[in-house]
Amino acid sequence: MVDPGKYGPWAVIAGGSEGVGAAFGRLLADAGINLVLLARKPGPLERTAAELAGRGVEVRTVSVDLTDAGAMEQIAAATADLEVGLLICNAGANTNHVPFLESAPGNVQRVIDLSITSPLALCRHFGPPMRERKRGGIILVGSLAGYMGQPEISIYSGAKAFSRVFAEGLWLELREHGVAVLELVLGVTRTPAMERLGLRFDLPGLIVAEPEDVAREGLEHIEHGPLHIAGGNEELAARRNGLNRAEIIASAHQQSRQLIGQG
pLDDT exceeds 80 at position 42? yes
The phi, psi pair for 152, rounded to 5°, reads 75, -15
d(CA 199, CA 248): 22
The set of residues, in sequence order, having a beta carbon less than 8 Å from that of 65 and lying 6+ positions away, is: 40, 71
Higher pLDDT pick, 180 / 263: 180
pLDDT digits (tens, 9 = 90+) for 207-222: 889 999 999 999 999 9
Does the global pTM surpass 0.85? yes
Nearest to 37 by CA among 10, 56, 70: 10
Cis peptide before 4, with omega less than 30 degrees from 0?
Answer: no
Integer CA distances (angstroms), 57 to 26, 97, 216, in order: 10, 38, 19
Per-residue model confidence (pLDDT) at position 260: 54
Q: What is the DSSP string of 66-92?
A: TTSTTHHHHHHHHTTT--EEEEEE---
pLDDT exceeds 60 at position 235? yes
Find how far residue 139's CA is from the centre of its chain: 7
The set of residues, in sequence order, having a beta carbon less than 8 Å from that of 14 and lying 6+ positions away, is: 21, 38, 39, 66, 87, 88, 89, 90, 91, 118, 119, 122
Number of domains in the chain: 1
Three-class secondary structure of residue 263 per DSSP = coil
What's the whole-number mean pLDDT along residues 230-257? 80
Count each helix (H run) and each strand (E run) in the chain, helices first: 11, 7
Per-residue model confidence (pLDDT) at position 215: 98
The phi, psi pair for 26, rounded to 5°, reads -65, -45
pLDDT exceeds 90 at position 62? yes
Do residues 137 and 85 make contact, with C-beta atoms less than 8 angstroms apart? yes
Three-class secondary structure of residue 228 per DSSP = strand
Domain of 174 in residue numbering reads as 4-259
The phi, psi pair for 209, rounded to 5°, reads -100, 155
160 as an active site residue: the answer is: yes
pLDDT grade for 202, boundaries at 50, 70 and 90:
low
pLDDT exceeds 80 at position 205? no
Q: What is the DSSP string of 131-199?
A: HHHT--EEEEEEEGGGGS--TT-HHHHHHHHHHHHHHHHHHHHHGGGT-EEEEEEE-SB--HHHHHTT-
Percent of the chain's residues with pLDDT above 70: 92
198: left (phi over 0), alpha (psi -120 to 50) or beta: left
7 as an active site residue: the answer is: no
The active-site residue out of 6, 7, 147, 156 is: 156
Q: What is the DSSP string of 41-67?
A: -HHHHHHHHHHHHTTTS-EEEEE--TT
Per-residue model confidence (pLDDT) at position 50: 98
pLDDT grade for 247, boundaries at 50, 70 and 90:
confident
pLDDT grade for 248, boundaries at 50, 70 and 90:
confident
The CATH number of whichever domain residue 240 belongs to comes to 3.40.50.720
